[in-house]
Structure 1
Amino acid sequence: MTDRPDQNLNPIELSLDAALQLEALAQGGREGAPKFAQLIAVLKAPKPTYSGTSTVSMLTDVRSAPLVRKAILRGSPSKPEANAQMVNFLDGLVEAVQKNDLEYIKLAKKFCLALNEQLLAKEYNSLVERQTRFRHHARAGNVR
């Protein structure tokens, strides 16, 4: 796993790619699931801001941390509440996947699919909200 993942990686696409790799790994069709480790690195990495660097990652951002937490809770036997607990849980999951632990590979796949669902729902809701605002402004004559 890299310390500084590519900031252009899309967590929606990455979570689905990781789930596919994990399924292939579980079925013995491949060795390793590097997209899963990349996904976790992206979740943990600080996101760049307009003013430079930031210390806010998807695990600490108030908009995305609840989505990650919900995805973890979807299939996890443990219930991490604090951000540090989420980081520890996800790091442990990466380690178990690298050791080819089938139970944890399946858990990682559930996490990836649940995260993908959460992120897609957020994007969809954001799109609908923007369209609604646009239509409202267009009716009011504020859009040319």
Structure 2
Amino acid sequence: MIRVQTEDFDIGTEVKKLTEGRTDIGAVVTFSGLVRNTDDGALASMELEHYPGMTEKELARIEAEANERWPLQASLVIHRVGKLAPGDNIVLVVTASAHRQAAFESASFLMDYLKTRAPFWKNEDKGGETNWVDARESDGEAAAKWEV
């Protein structure tokens, strides 16, 4: 399941909805990302933009790839867009499988993809001075390990 939204989310509620009544799930891995302030503490907000329709299609494609690579019982990716402040939830990835290895590896795969290839654009506002944020080189190196 994929959701791109402006609204906040509750991690516990999302996990419960994904796993409720499921006895075939033995492992659930969650990753939640927050808007982190810059090293100099000057971040006032971050604006996340996306191309509606294209973004959801691409996220669904990569989620389907995760389900092909690992035996998942369920998965969820929520990514927020709009104006967010330091400390706000920005992303949630949940993977559920019969066993922990598949859940851990698929969650890592999904996050590496989101950090490097997902069609989101981030613009930081530092008190009126704005700049677009690029993926870090280390994020690209992490994603490269999943290339087939």
Normalised by the length of structure 2, the TM-score is: 0.28
More strand by share: 2
More helix by share: 1
Normalised by the length of structure 1, the TM-score is: 0.28
Say which one has the larger Rg: 1
